[in-house]
Amino acid sequence: MGKKRVLISYGVDVDAVAGWLGSYGGEDSSNDISRGLFAGTVGVRRVLKFFEKYNIKSTWFIPGHSLETFPQEMALVRDAGHEIGLHGYSHENPTDMSLEQQRDVLDKTYKMLTDFCGKPPRGSVAPWWETSMEGAQLLLDYGIEYDHSMSHHDCQAYYLPTGESWTKIDYKKKAADWMHPLKKGIDTGLVEIPSNWYLDDLPPMMFIKSAPNSHGFVNARDVEDIWRDHFDYFYREYDEFIFPMTIHPDVSGRPHVLLMHERQVKLIEHFMKHEGVEFVTMAEIADDFKAKNKPAPGAIMPAAAGSILKN
């Protein structure tokens, strides 16, 4: 094995109330909205305290709704030096939206984050990790440099193709009608930092009443074992890899999950004694990837940062 280079990153999705409005089916539940209020206040402050304790810089993907509902807490995130990226307005599912609606949400939130941070956002996470057919092109139009919503790989960044298409099965038709391979898309210069449901705190550890397979009561030590196994395998098999984790103040603001993160970081600190292992923001992962990898010839490239604001 060669020289190690491991880039570890926490992506924090501040779903809070927006998550219940747009994805989790709690828009009519005062109790679920209350849980969102916990996430945007108590949860955010606890996660920030954790990062401060271990001197970790992270990337926070903030829905516009969370920014406007919790301005004081979001200012704490910004002022602590964490990166801030896009995450919809009310955690809307892009696949349920018209192109006009997607543009309206992106236009509003892009301008909001630019004003709030004093610079345009560089990255985006699609709410619920669902992307529309137009999603990648919209990000390119707005000059977004990286996305964190897709899963073509699990420990390596890559340039995201767009326009892939496939044939769904329709049992009312002849089999010949659906027996076609996936058609690959076209190349872009949009860096993809892979998402991973198995490195996400929410599915196993947040109870959602409207989800038939929702747990919320999985032992955090079981989740910790899964995350540790991922890290151990990548460390054994790759000289260079990335380890992006996705967390939510809704979940990781709870005591049992915060203690899981503390144990996880202490394990990683052991590896950090060796050269090449470090915590970084997702923008730093994107920069590192672009420095070593050129987009394919003819790839669709992101517009200049902030240029959309001049139109």
| Residue % of the chain over a pLDDT of 70 | 98
Q: Which residue has the higher pLDDT, 106 or 275?
A: 106
What is the average pLDDT across 245-262? 97
User: Which SS3 state, helix, strand or coil, does residue 10 take?
Assistant: strand
Domain extents in the chain: 5-310
CA distance 146 to 93: 19
Query: pLDDT band at residue 311, thresholds of 50, 70 and 90?
Result: low
What is the average pLDDT across 185-198? 98
Cβ density class 30-49: b for 16+ within 10 Å, e for less: eebeebbebbbbebbbbbbe
User: CA separation (Å) from 6 to 109, 133, 241, 268, 269?
Assistant: 32, 32, 5, 10, 12
Residues 197, 200, 205, 206, Cα dihedral to 10°: -90
Q: Which residue has the higher pLDDT, 212 or 222?
A: 222
Structure confidence by residue, pLDDT tens digits, 23-77: 888 898 999 999 999 999 999 999 999 999 999 999 999 999 999 999 999 999 9
- Beta strands 191-192 and 146-147 are parallel
CA distance 206 to 196: 17
Residue 215 has pLDDT above 90, yes or no: no
The answer to whether the CB of 88 falls within 8 A of the CB of 124 is: no
Fold of 5-310: TIM Barrel (3.20.20)
The answer to whether the CB of 146 falls within 8 A of the CB of 192 is: yes
Which helix (H) or strand (E) element contains residue 158? strand 158-159
CA distance 233 to 135: 32
Mean pLDDT (the chain) is 95
CA distance 275 to 5: 8
Structure confidence by residue, pLDDT tens digits, 78-101: 999 999 999 999 999 999 999 999
Q: Please give the pLDDT value at position 1.
A: 63
Q: Please give the pLDDT value at position 26.
A: 82
* pTM as predicted: 0.95
CA distance 60 to 74: 9
CA distance 59 to 283: 8
Q: Please give the pLDDT value at position 264.
A: 87
User: Which SS3 state, helix, strand or coil, does residue 278 take?
Assistant: strand
